Structure 1
Amino acid sequence: MGWYSRRVFLQVSGVAAVGGLLSGRSSAEPRAAGGVPDGAFELLRRRWREVSAGTGFDAAREPYRSRLAEIGARAAAYRDAMEPGAGFLWRDQPFPSFVATPGRLRAMARAYVLPGTGVTGDATLAAAVATGVDHYRRRVYAAGAEPYGNWWHWRIGVPGKLLDAVLLIGPHLSDRRRDALRDAVDHFVPESVLDRYSDRSTGANRVDLCVVTLLRAMLTSDPGKAALAVSALSPVFPYVTEGDGFYQDGSFIQHTTVPYQGAYGVSLLSGVAKLLAVLRGTPWQVTDPHRQVVFDAVERSFAPFVHDGFCMDLVRGRGLSRAPYGDHERGREIAAAVLLLGDTASAAERARWRGIVKGWALRDTDLPMLAAAESTDLAFHARLAAILDDGAVPASAEPTGHRLLTMSARAVHRRPRWCAALSMASHRIGHYEHGNGENLRGWHTGSGMLYWWAEGHGAQYSDSFWTTVDPYRLPGTTVSTLRLPDGAGEGWGDTCPPGRWVGGATDGVYAAVGQHLNGLESTMEAFKSWFFLDDAVVCLGAGITGADGVPVETIVDNRRTGALLTVDEREGWAHLDGHGGYVLLACPGLRTLREERTEPAPVTPPEQRPGPGRVTRSYATLWLDHGVDPVSASYAYVLLPGAGRAETRARATTGGWVRVLDNTARRQGVHVPSLGITAVNFWNGGATGALTASAPCAVLVREYGDGTATITVSDPRRTLDELTVTWHRPVAAVLLRSPNLTTATTGRALSLTFENLADRSGLAQTVTVRLG
């Protein structure tokens, strides 16, 4: 038995009634002032307990009965092992213990309020939480103390957990201890942090600060604090054109330069969902009409990056380097937030979202969502189980089509049997993010990394990929092999290259995407294009130049697999069994490597790297060597996800299915007759094939069998006041104009003039015509 005696606690605290723990009101609760209706804060606290601890499941049924018993046993063990000392609350967690100690206190409080834990309503447990919170408050989180280390712990992480814990145990926290915690929170989280929407008080951080402020309001029934929490939330909602937040194209940015749906975005979505659920029907209900932006973000910003239940790593910032299967964990968190948000959404949105989440859960076979939820979130488990069992909720299939998010330099291409995603860097989006000792070797994730998944590949980048892959050979990238130090470049995503031409044109089905790439801390420069088709991605590179005194390489692929690799140099193709094929159109000799790679010794403390320890994984690497200090080197190859060996060989030996029109540092373009597609990335104005452009732009032409065609144009640099694109093809009439089209001339050729494309944030303009 630890420092606390169960008998002493029973003598001091008495026995709390179990009934009404989630909904009852105690006479010891402070009363609100300022004309707030009776019971308003009681309702807030009850709602919070339901959202925080979880509800909606039958504690007497499995798997909840066993899981609740485990939660209770762990909480009791924490209680019994508590041994408050000058430098710790638990001996194995010396102060400051910003994460573990507040986390254990909250876990104990949740066990106290949840049914069926074996310690439900146990006064000794609640008293231990109260004593533990006060001890931590006095020793670490004391009013007047100077914060050190990461600011986030002091303003969000620690107060959020401590306030959550004391709200769950209710009257077991004395007035004196409550007021002392109030003063500590007010010291570290003054109202001034919500005065301006800038710096560390934007996006997900602002939502978290609003949650802390609302919890602080509930602690002392402070209507002013509750009103502040709601009013301070409003700047999160509107679309932004720079900095942190949601963009109209679906991008979500945090830390100014990092696409972050898969970490900070999840926190924002979850936090807003909790706030809306707790505040609904109270005097502080959120009524800001711009809140619809967050509802729209479910399908505009989050769903595009969730594939078969996991969240793609290219929107996870430095978090991609954490524990294995973190992408599946983030996908599960997005699903949970979406279902909770659905409680305050329209009926139509709620119905769609349930179908989307059901589809994710059914397709995530690598780390099944329902089973994983059993050990992490019982309330979500209950919601998800009900949806999976409900035949009236149809499971949504994976969508097909292309999403190009120009403001975050990301693209996602979905076809019926495969999916690909592209991660780039630009003058506004960093090469990568590192910070807090995390993701120190993610240097080249923004150098055109091409992720792809065929059927059954949901764990390709999940199972220890980031700790075992060669960081200089990420698939799809072109890199200088110059050795870089861990954490090269500025931290927190401030590694933006100068290139502005990053983006492309898409009609929603196919796409021409390009990146003017400048290497990280390197002289290397390259012009890279990807043309996304039905069953292939055509990859072009040109103007590849470097003066670092080392070779420059383009990584055709680097798959985590031990599958058989076949290479036919004479016919120009390669195939990886069970994965896909590669057709070499115009490349230096293909280099290959089969190797076993073992995770290196951790570069961060072990407690920050949960997982099974050092592991070994098999890799098949295919790359192109452009030589030392290349000048205007180039490549052209085709990726065929999911293709068989015979299909790959047929593509390599059958000419004419794709024609490279141009592959230089001025223009890159292809023609695909079977799809009626002509696509060109104009790095400079000029002519390629049947297309001419007056300035740098991206153009995608698609001819249909009914005598019509679409011309899709964009300004990836976002600098053009005027652009004229000419298609040397007879056109009879313009059927559908785009907003920025000012002049259209038809006849023996089509000439289109657009104005003010710089104001369109790189978004494409599509014009529909009837062919002559």
Structure 2
Amino acid sequence: MPAPWARRGFVKAWGGGAAALCLGATASAAIPHSTAHAADEFDVLRAKWRQLILGSGFSATTEPFRSKLGRLGKDATAWRATMEPADGSLWPAMVWLDPEPDLDAESYAFSDQMRKTCQRLCSMAEAYAQPGTGLTGDDAYAEEIVAGIRHVVDEVYNPGRSRYGNWWNWQIGGPQALLDAAVLLYDHLGPELISSLTAAVDHFVPESAVAEYTGTSTGANRVDLCRVIMLRGIVGRSAAKITLARDALAPVFPYVTRGDGFYADGSFIQHSAIPYIGGYGAVLFDGVGLLFALLKGSSYERTDPGSRLFLDTVDNAVAPFVYNGLLMDGVSGRGISRDGADDHTRAHALLASILLIGQGAGIEERTRWQAMVKGWIERDTYKPATTNTGLSLVRLARLRSLMDDRAVVASEEPVGHRLFHNMDRVVHRRHTWAACLSMASERIAHYEFGNGENGRGFHTGAGWLSWWGDDFGNDQYSDAFWPTVNPYRLPGITASTRKLSYGEGGNWGNPKPDAAWVGGTTDGEYAAVGQHLKGLSSTMAANKSWFFLDDAVVCLGAGITAADGVPVETTVDNRNLGASGNPVLTVDGRVQPSYQGWTDSFQDIRWAHVEGHAGYVFPRGATVNAVREARTGAWQDINTGGSPDPVTRRYLTLWHDHGTDPADATYVYVLLPGAGPGATSRRAGSNGWFRILSNSAGQQGIAVPRLGLTAVNFWARGEAGELSANAPCSVLVREHRDGTATVCVSDPARETTGLRVTWHRPVRSVLTRPSTLTSATTGRTLTLGFGDLTGQAGEPQKITVKPADWRSAPAVGNARPSGIEKSHA
């Protein structure tokens, strides 16, 4: 192997630099683009991309931009000093190929180092182009970066090489970084290096990479591939490549009915079975936002209907999962296991992307989205986006500019219910709290494990009910929850305690249960949701139902059966108390001990309350176990790339123990987020506020007279209260103040070719009906006949009727119930 080149000789071989430019202190003073030839559309697009990736309108002399630019310059100076080009590396600690590599064993690590080398060069180019770095405009420094790019292209990223390891490094991560650096240093590259670089991109990212919408060329990955091809076209001055990339975006926009992409109900799937708006979806949004902004006003601008569909997903697919500045973990895949990221920090980048997309939208949408994002930022008291110095400079500048704009008035959180039946996720929003339910089915995986990430996330699809308050509980999943929580006791789940292996189901296995009936029905405000739960690598099975109301979630479980030889548990809740939290636990009016390590089992209790969090009602009496414990873990325990440093958090856990190998066990409890102990006690003592119509393996249902609500999940044909059905389905009836009622029916299992639902109430007439309704009989009872529902993918079918014996109107509506006071007030 030839001896490594010395850095000085390495730079000299490719030419020296000119005198540094004199620059001002604002972002507008960053290194300007100039060309020797007359400006054309390629130059315009290149200049626009520079602005998009560098940002604008911020002051380099004010915080936090001053410090961020200073750190960028400091890092780039250190990288400059340690750059030692050699065969197989540019930095000694970042080897991309050994002389005799065992690619089967180490190819992923080598390809990662290649990509990281490219990204480091891109960051160095940014330090040259941004103001206030100490390297701004230093042309000698720019030539060193260019020499580094040339070394990468000559050594490893060229048409003579075949890719190894992770495909993503070669087709997306590596070339994106190289092309961004090429844009920033364009005038220093020269035609020879531009030709070599674009030939390398053509080799690793050929046109065939976007010829079909399949495999690794879907969703966010497709957008990233289009970005690479488009930037290759701009740097290499090829209109054909830009056109190809623009047109190849087309399959991303239409709604899909299977596989990866956006669905009409707002669902977003990646990796075939993972709900992913918080991961790949966020990447897709940022990528499309950048490309839309880049092409806006050019001859390549997209104006087709597909673009309109994409803009609609901001409200339909993204906004429902953002609450007070956090992005719900239930749609973030294996990203929940990454050290240094949490539900708040993941949201911050997405908020900046929404603002970017707004630049290509109409004025009404742009104004609404700005108000929406401003409200999220203002309400995030735990980790506000504008103080997140981990955000890229360009995103931080975008968010700070919004917050400084006094003309934008923050909007409030909406109230309502969203059922994402194509990805087994539910979002319920009330005035003072919000909840997200995560389930799994034959269509959606238990969890995602890959690249050594999220090895203990196996029960996140077992009915995990996460929730947050308007000004409490917003650090539940942000404060080192995932490396310290007991993975068998996530809030709301029912699970066998059989010990599972790290990454149970296999790398990228995306294990799915053999369960079809998962979903529910909703009228847009309240909902009935159910999950036929089958445990991962377990014999455990159960029917779980959740009824989402105005101030509560009623949770029912039945048919809980297993033969694993170990106990089965349902976790009522598991509150992360942080490093030192010690809230009061009250059980049936008695305050319990507060020392760590305390545990107890309570027999036939009616209610419990955790100070500052929530109340829990057990209307039929229940045996509930409780424990206070300090749990220690490390991010490396759940992600092989995480920190090995131990971290400790306190937990207060309430759970039902169904015993070893239960047969047809049940549970009933009511979650009251934010309720105080008095309100919890009163609700437990009120026998009339709701009734359990059934809690069996055949039907689970409730009635709430004050809301005019009756809801039943039919696991099998049968009757519960005033409702009956001749096949499995989910039914919710709401009686309204105006004398009408809505009947919402769905087929979550997607197996019903003929359904008859009867509401045993006199009904005068049917006012509105969907096309799936084939018959409707009114009179002493209402009988609704539906045809083949298998093609509706579990979507609720809504019918409006006029009852003949309209009863007194429900008194609550959207108002907060007067009997519920907040526990932290």
- State the TM-score bracket (shorter-chain normalisation): over 0.9
1:509 and 2:538 matched: no
Q: What does residue 676 of structure 1 align with?
A: 708
Structure 2 residue runs without a partner (length 5+): 1-5, 24-28, 97-109, 589-601, 805-825
Q: What does residue 695 of structure 1 align with?
A: 727
Summarize deviations over 1:663-684 as a string: whole Å, max 9, x none.
Answer: 1111100011111111000011
Q: What does residue 740 of structure 2 align with?
A: 708
Q: What does residue 599 of structure 2 align with?
A: none
CA distance in 1, matches of 2:275, 2:80: 41
Greater shift after overlay, 147-156 or 15-24? 15-24
Measure how far apart 1:745 and its partner are.
1.6
Residue type of the partner of 2:584? L
Aligned-pair identity (%):
51
Greater shift after overlay, 509-518 or 622-631? 622-631
1:187 and 2:199 matched: no
1:591 and 2:625 matched: yes
Q: What does residue 212 of structure 2 align with?
A: 196
Residue 22 to residue 739, structure 1, CA distance change in 2 (3 Å): farther
Contact 2:456–2:638 under 8 Å retained in 1: no
Summarize deviations over 1:612-639 as a string: whole Å, max 9, x none.
Answer: 9320000111111111111111111111
CA distance in 2, matches of 1:680, 1:558: 27
Contact 1:662–1:688 under 8 Å retained in 2: yes
Contact 2:538–2:564 under 8 Å retained in 1: yes
Residue 352 to residue 520, structure 1, CA distance change in 2 (3 Å): same
Q: What does residue 586 of structure 2 align with?
A: 566
Residue 234 to residue 587, structure 1, CA distance change in 2 (3 Å): farther
1:126 and 2:127 matched: no
CA distance in 2, matches of 1:571, 1:559: 20
Q: What does residue 265 of structure 2 align with?
A: 249
CA distance in 2, matches of 1:80, 1:353: 44
Structure 1 residue runs without a partner (length 5+): 32-37
CA distance in 1, matches of 2:13, 2:86: 19
Contact 1:476–1:555 under 8 Å retained in 2: yes
Greater shift after overlay, 414-423 or 125-134? 125-134
Residue 176 to residue 325, structure 1, CA distance change in 2 (3 Å): closer
Q: What does residue 718 of structure 2 align with?
A: 686
1:737 to 769, 778, 785: 769
Measure how far apart 1:141 and its partner are.
2.2
Residue 703 to residue 632, structure 1, CA distance change in 2 (3 Å): same
CA distance in 1, matches of 2:163, 2:193: 21
Q: What does residue 310 of structure 1 align with?
A: 326
Contact 1:57–1:378 under 8 Å retained in 2: no
Q: What does residue 455 of structure 2 align with?
A: 440
Contact 2:95–2:114 under 8 Å retained in 1: no
1:26 and 2:58 matched: no
Greater shift after overlay, 359-368 or 383-392? 383-392
Q: What does residue 378 of structure 1 align with?
A: 393
Q: What does residue 172 of structure 1 align with?
A: 188
Measure how far apart 1:384 and its partner are.
2.2
CA distance in 1, matches of 2:235, 2:180: 9
Q: What does residue 68 of structure 1 align with?
A: 69
Measure how far apart 1:370 and its partner are.
0.6
Structure 1 residues 407-446: aligned runs within 5 Å: 407-446=422-461
Contact 1:6–1:124 under 8 Å retained in 2: no
CA distance in 1, matches of 2:565, 2:66: 64
Measure how far apart 1:61 and its partner are.
4.1
CA distance in 2, matches of 1:11, 1:709: 79
Residue type of the partner of 2:627? L
Q: Secondary structure at the match of 1:344?
A: coil
Contact 1:735–1:770 under 8 Å retained in 2: yes
CA distance in 2, matches of 1:7, 1:744: 82
Summarize deviations over 1:693-738 as a string: whole Å, max 9, x none.
Answer: 1211100011123322111111111222322111111112222223
CA distance in 1, matches of 2:739, 2:614: 35
Residue type of the partner of 1:121? G
Residue type of the partner of 1:581? G
Residue type of the partner of 2:233? A
Contact 2:94–2:114 under 8 Å retained in 1: no
Q: Secondary structure at the match of 1:616?
A: strand
Measure how far apart 1:4 and its partner are.
4.1
Q: What does residue 820 of structure 2 align with?
A: none
Summarize deviations over 1:44-94 as a string: whole Å, max 9, x none.
Answer: 110111111222223344443343233223222222221222343223333
Q: What does residue 212 of structure 1 align with?
A: 228
1:14 and 2:55 matched: no
Measure how far apart 1:375 and its partner are.
4.5
Residue type of the partner of 2:631? R
Contact 1:56–1:379 under 8 Å retained in 2: no
Structure 1 residues 742-761: aligned runs within 5 Å: 742-761=774-793
Q: Secondary structure at the match of 2:359?
A: helix
Structure 1 residues 131-170: aligned runs within 5 Å: 131-170=147-186
CA distance in 2, matches of 1:735, 1:137: 68
Structure 1 residues 91-106: aligned runs within 5 Å: 91-95=92-96, 96=110, 97-106=113-122
CA distance in 1, matches of 2:510, 2:772: 33
1:770 and 2:790 matched: no
Residue 82 to residue 115, structure 1, CA distance change in 2 (3 Å): same
Contact 2:438–2:465 under 8 Å retained in 1: yes
1:609 to 638, 642, 647: 642
Q: Secondary structure at the match of 1:721?
A: coil
Measure how far apart 1:15 and its partner are.
2.9
CA distance in 1, matches of 2:336, 2:483: 10
Q: Secondary structure at the match of 1:762?
A: coil
Greater shift after overlay, 396-405 or 562-571? 562-571
1:117 and 2:150 matched: no
Summarize deviations over 1:473-510 as a string: whole Å, max 9, x none.
Answer: 11100111111110111433521111111110100110
Contact 2:19–2:138 under 8 Å retained in 1: yes
Residue 586 to residue 141, structure 1, CA distance change in 2 (3 Å): farther
Structure 1 residues 631-642: aligned runs within 5 Å: 631-642=663-674
Q: Secondary structure at the match of 2:165?
A: coil
CA distance in 2, matches of 1:249, 1:734: 26
CA distance in 1, matches of 2:11, 2:167: 40
Contact 1:163–1:216 under 8 Å retained in 2: yes
Q: What does residue 320 of structure 1 align with?
A: 336
Measure how far apart 1:7 and its partner are.
10
Q: Secondary structure at the match of 1:530?
A: strand
Measure how far apart 1:345 and its partner are.
0.4
CA distance in 2, matches of 1:6, 1:694: 79
Q: What does residue 278 of structure 2 align with?
A: 262
